[in-house]
């Protein structure tokens, strides 16, 4: 099977916004109704690429990766910061 | 291009739409867009569907069927007049009526349709719906989820990402779905629901409330007799709808019962204050589902941009109030909550036909699918462990596989039992089907078996089990396994429906309809006494039919038929003979039930 980033047609280190934009484009070109098989591949590739653990694993073990480990860790840190739940939402969850 | 109809087959109401000039239009006839999902036979055995059937319900509840959708996929049957039908057959009558409506308006044959089901319907219920469509002479090109259909009627191209929460409370079922719309792609993120919760339940709660109050006053239970019960139910149903607009309403039903020769009337004032506490527990259940849907979508209430209401029961003001409190934002219902589902189905039909209508839809499966396996549960080995293969909220179509191992050395076969549900114990989930992979190669335990699930856009599952070492393979498509009818039965059912529908088939009509008894005036007292008693007994027996188990019901039906015949023939000896037998059975059943 093709590498997920090749299925979507993005660079291996594409950021989340690019991933999302490209995924939507590919889905519009290949609606599940008309191309179920192709859609399933696109979807599977997108799910793999956006999963942070999968992403990290791939980057760590990617042979052609030109990035240094420091880059990977820096990106991961950024991602973890990005997914942190804002305190306002935490407060709203506790009610009143 | 061939038209694909969009059909909302609802618990209470149904509707049919199609695409005209790039837009979804609901097809109306005689000024009515809605077709009540009610099927009945009139006094002469003629088939009634929709409003006429709904109107005769209070007069002839024994010849009228409502809310058959709640029984879909259950294996239960319903009685209409003297015949027994499957829920699929009754649904097929409704679908065929809609098909014919569309054909009259189109002026040509309409063969294909997209039919909607509650998102939370399981495999059996979906399959039963598909079967109903086929019995109605339709090619069901897709079964689509109702909230998803509703979401397609909203703008698929918002300026920026938009997240919708669709709260669909219908006559018999409840669904909540979270949908994300961005750049023309409509993606369902999560679905939750309850296939046995809806406006019908509100009616029953209100009926119980009214009947209890009436009993306190008159020492008489209006639910005991079928006709007074259905009159109260219809009255409270209408009162419920009035309470959506007014704070108070009055129930007025004259001559609803008789007590010691004195007629009794039902005259009662109802207020929203009486009604709301009755339904609050049910509405709270829906709010729990809303929370679950949000948590599955990994969203908070604040991240929802619009809340959309679908289904007749969502008109209840209390629904608006509770949702607004829970989600902290205004609630939308711009597209008619009764019609948007069928319109969305028509849009989906257009998408399948390849018409460019804007949105591309990505839907999900709301239930986890997996197999039974041996594993440790609470430290003990258990045969009932549920191993998920396709997790809920996975986008469709989906293919997933897992590797399992044999339990013993030289194991000859493996049994693959497929279940649907969220519990880690398969006994708490829904059995879907199973296959046996036989003739495995001799190998040590842990011999690898690959189980692959392919779930298509209709939610139809194909299971493939492969022995990794040899490539030995076995396949099963669940829609074949779950089919309620074998093909010849299906053919028979089709013919039977044809007969019911055409109405011209006198034989079928005569079979369904008991011969009309002759007028009683000229009867001598010796005959009249037993006949009157027999009629009373017949009425009593028929009331018990629904609740009796199949064997008892069959036995009773036979005696009922014999007694009717005897009554019509005025054969006193036979009447007394059969009456005695039927009386025994009724006595026994009343005791048992």
pLDDT tens for residues B322-346?
Answer: 999 999 888 877 778 889 999 999 9
Of A20, A24, A32, the CB nearest to B457: A32
Mean pLDDT (whole number) for A16-22: 91
| Displacement of CA B387 from its chain's centroid (Å) | 29
Q: Are B112 and B349 in contact (CB under 8 A)?
A: yes
User: What is the 3-state composition of chain A as percent helix, strand, coil, each rounded to the nearest 5?
Assistant: 70, 0, 30
How much is the CA Rg of chain A, to the nearest whole Å? Answer: 16
Residues B177-204 have pLDDT tens digits of: 999 999 889 999 999 999 889 999 999 9
Comparing alpha-carbon positions, the chain B residue that sits nearest to A43 is B395
The reported pLDDT for the residue numbered B301 is: 92
Gyration radius (Cα) of chain B, Å: 27
For B437, left (φ over 0), alpha (ψ -120 to 50), or beta?
beta
The chain A residue lying nearest B399, using CA atoms, is A40
Give the residue on A whose Cα is nearest the Cα of B400.
A44
Residues in chain B within 8 Å Cβ distance of A83: none
User: Is the pLDDT confidence value at A61 over 80?
Assistant: no
Q: Tell me: the pLDDT tens digits for B144-157? A: 999 999 999 988 78
Q: Give me the residue from A24, A33, A43 closest to B351, CB to CB.
A: A33
Judge contact between B113 and B6, C-beta under 8 A.
yes
Question: For all residues of chain B together, what is the average pLDDT?
Answer: 87
CA–CA separation, A23 vs A41, rounded Å? Answer: 11
Instruction: Name every residue whose Cβ is closer than 8 Å to that of residue B517 and which is 6 or more positions away in sequence.
Output: B567, B568
Nearest CA among B196, B190, B143 for reference residue B165? B190
The closest alpha carbon to B130, from B74, B92, B103, B94, belongs to B92
Over residues B11-36, mean pLDDT: 93
Residues of B in contact with A39 (CB under 8 A): 362, 397
Q: What is the pLDDT of residue B381?
A: 80
Nearest CA-CA partner of B115 in B365, B312, B341, B308: B341
Residues with Cβ within 8 Å of B232's Cβ and at least 6 positions away in sequence, in order, are B207, B210, B211, B222, B223, B253, B256, B266
Instruction: Indicate whether B53 pLDDT > 60.
Output: yes
Residues of A in contact with B457 (CB under 8 A): 32-33, 36
Among chain A residues, CA nearest to B395: A43
**Cβ separation A24–B185 shorter than 8 A:** yes
Interface size A-B, in CB pairs within 8 Å, comes to: 47
Nearest to B368 by CA among B423, B289, B290: B423
pLDDT in tens, B273-290: 999 999 999 999 999 999
B196 three-state secondary structure: coil
Extract the runs of DSSP E, i.e. beta strands, from B314-447.
331-332, 360-362, 364-365, 369-377, 380-390, 394-395, 398-405, 414-420, 430-437
> Cα dist. B232→B180, B224, B257, B261 in Å?
43, 11, 11, 21
A40 interaction partners in chain B (CB closer than 8 Å):
397-399
Cβ neighbours of residue B325 under 8 Å, at least 6 residues apart?
A: none
pLDDT band at B355 (very low <50, low <70, confident <90, very high): confident
SS3 of residue B273 by DSSP: helix
For an interface test with B, give the residue of A17, A19, A32, A85 to mutate (most B CBs within 10 A): A32
In this structure, the strands spanning B306-310 and B331-332 are parallel
Hey, are the CB atoms on A28 and B185 less than 8 Å from each other?
yes
Of B185, B352, B399, the CB nearest to A33: B352
The mean per-residue pLDDT over the stretch A32-47 comes to 91
Q: Is B411 left (phi over 0), alpha (psi -120 to 50) or beta?
A: beta
- Phi, psi (degrees; rounded to nearest 5) at B549: -75, 170
**Which of B129, B168, B152, B175 minimizes the C-alpha distance to B367?**
B175
Beta bridge partners of residue B370, listed in sequence order: B388, B419
Chain B contacts of A27, Cβ < 8 Å?
185, 360, 362
Closest-CA distance of chain B to residue A64, Å:
29
List the single range of A61-65, B337-341, B412-416, B510-514 with lowest mean pLDDT. B510-514
* φ, ψ of residue B582 in degrees (nearest 5): -65, -40
pLDDT over threshold 60, residue B298 = yes
Q: Residue B152: its pLDDT value, please? A: 92
pLDDT score at A83: 54
Mean pLDDT, rounded, for B293-317 = 92
Q: Nearest by CB to A92, from B302, B352, B363: name it.
A: B302
pLDDT of residue B58: 84
Residue A63 pLDDT: 44
Flag the least confident range among A57-71, B7-21, B49-63, B430-444: A57-71
Q: What is the pLDDT of residue B479?
A: 56
- How far apart are the C-alpha atoms of B510 and B96, rounded to whole Å? 22
What's residue B505's pLDDT? 42
Of B483 and B99, more confident: B99
pLDDT of residue A75: 65
The mean per-residue pLDDT over the stretch B409-413 comes to: 89
| C-alpha count within 13 angstroms, C-beta hemisphere, residue B270 | 30
Residue of B nearest to A23 (CA): B185
The H-or-E segment that residue A38 falls in is: helix A36-50
Whole-model pTM: value is: 0.77
Q: Are B500 and B135 in contact (CB under 8 A)?
A: no
Would the CB atoms of B397 and A40 count as touching at under 8 Å?
yes
pLDDT band at A91 (very low <50, low <70, confident <90, very high): low
Q: Which residues of B touch A82 (CB under 8 A)?
A: none
What distance in Å separates residue B559's CA from the closest CA in chain A? Answer: 54
- For position B136, what pLDDT does the model report? 94
Contact B414, B367 (CB under 8 A): no
Residues of B in contact with A32 (CB under 8 A): 360-363, 396-397, 457
Angle at A14 between CA A12 and CA A20, to 5 degrees: 120
User: Given this model, what pLDDT does residue B22 score?
Assistant: 87
Measured CA angle at B54 (ends B511, B281), to 5 deg: 120
Residue A76 pLDDT: 62
Domains contained in chain A, CATH given = 4-93 (1.10.287.110)
Coil, strand or helix: which one is B418? Answer: strand
- Among chain B residues, the shortest Cα distance to A35 is held by B397
Q: pLDDT (tens digit, 9 = 90+) per residue, B123-135?
A: 888 889 999 999 9
Of B244-253, B270-279, B509-518, B576-585, the poorest mean pLDDT is in: B509-518
């Amino acid at each position: 099977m093709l590498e997920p980033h090749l299925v979507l047609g993005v660079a291996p280190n594409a950021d989340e916004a690019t991933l999302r934009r490209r995924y939507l484009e590919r889905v519009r070109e290949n609606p599940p109704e008309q191309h179920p098989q192709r859609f399933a591949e696109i979807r599977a590739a997108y799910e793999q690429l956006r999963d942070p653990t999968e992403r990290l694993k791939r980057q760590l073990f990617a042979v052609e990766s030109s990035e240094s480990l420091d880059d990977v860790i820096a990106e991961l840190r950024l991602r973890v910061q990005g997914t942190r739940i804002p305190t306002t939402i935490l407060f709203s969850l506790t009610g009143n | 291009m061939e038209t694909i109809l969009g059909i909302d087959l609802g618990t209470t109401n149904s509707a049919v739409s199609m695409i005209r000039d790039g837009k979804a239009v609901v097809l109306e006839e005689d000024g009515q867009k809605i077709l009540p999902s009610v099927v009945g036979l009139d006094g002469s055995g003629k088939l009634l569907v929709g409003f006429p059937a709904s109107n005769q319900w209070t007069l002839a509840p024994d010849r009228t069927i409502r809310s058959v959708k709640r029984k879909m996929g259950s294996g239960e049957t319903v009685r209409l007049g003297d015949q027994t039908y499957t829920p699929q057959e009754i649904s097929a009558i409704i679908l065929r009526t809609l098909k014919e409506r569309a054909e009259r308006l189109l002026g040509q044959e309409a063969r294909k349709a997209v039919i909607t089901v509650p998102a939370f319907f399981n495999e059996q219920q979906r399959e039963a719906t598909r079967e109903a469509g086929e019995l109605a002479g339709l090619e069901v090109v897709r079964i689509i989820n109702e909230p998803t259909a509703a979401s397609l009627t909203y703008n698929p191209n918002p300026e920026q990402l938009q997240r919708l929460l669709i709260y669909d409370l219908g006559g018999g079922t409840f669904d909540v779905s979270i949908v994300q719309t961005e750049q023309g792609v409509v993606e369902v993120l999560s679905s939750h629901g309850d296939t046995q919760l809806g406006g019908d339940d509100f009616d029953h709660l209100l009926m119980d409330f009214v009947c209890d109050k009436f009993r306190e006053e008159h020492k008489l239970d209006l639910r005991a007799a079928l006709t007074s019960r259905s009159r109260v139910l219809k009255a409270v149903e209408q009162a419920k709808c009035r309470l959506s607009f007014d704070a108070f309403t009055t129930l007025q039903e004259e001559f609803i019962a008789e007590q010691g020769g004195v007629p009794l009337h039902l005259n009662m004032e109802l207020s929203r204050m009486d009604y709301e506490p009755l339904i609050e527990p049910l509405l709270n259940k829906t709010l729990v589902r809303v929370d679950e849907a949000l948590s599955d979508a990994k969203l908070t209430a604040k991240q929802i941009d619009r809340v959309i209401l679908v289904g007749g029961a969502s008109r209840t003001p209390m629904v608006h109030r509770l949702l607004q409190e829970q989600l902290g934002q205004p609630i939308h219902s711009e597209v008619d909550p009764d019609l948007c589902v069928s319109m969305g189905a028509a849009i989906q039909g257009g998408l399948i036909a390849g018409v460019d209508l804007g949105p591309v839809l990505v839907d999900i499966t709301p239930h986890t699918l997996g197999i039974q396996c041996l594993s440790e549960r609470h430290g003990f080995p258990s045969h009932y462990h549920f191993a998920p293969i396709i997790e809920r909220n996975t986008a469709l179509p989906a293919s997933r596989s897992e590797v399992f191992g044999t339990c013993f050395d030289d194991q000859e076969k493996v049994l693959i039992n497929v279940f649907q549900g969220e519990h880690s114990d398969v006994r708490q989930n829904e059995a879907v089907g199973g296959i046996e992979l036989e003739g495995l190669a001799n190998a040590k335990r842990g011999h690898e078996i690959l189980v692959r699930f392919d779930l298509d856009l209709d939610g139809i599952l194909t299971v493939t089990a492969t022995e990794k070492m040899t490539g030995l393979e076995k396949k099963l498509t669940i829609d074949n396994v779950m089919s309620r009818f074998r093909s010849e039965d299906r053919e028979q059912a089709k013919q039977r429906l044809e007969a019911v529908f055409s109405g011209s088939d006198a034989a079928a009509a005569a079979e369904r309809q008991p011969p009309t008894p002759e007028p009683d005036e000229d009867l001598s007292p010796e005959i009249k006494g037993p006949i009157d008693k027999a009629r009373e007994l017949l009425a009593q027996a028929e009331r018990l039919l629904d609740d009796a188990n199949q064997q008892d019901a069959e036995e009773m039906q036979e005696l009922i038929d014999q007694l009717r015949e005897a009554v019509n023939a005025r054969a006193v000896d036979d009447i007394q003979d059969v009456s005695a037998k039927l009386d025994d059975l009724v006595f026994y059943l009343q005791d048992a039930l």
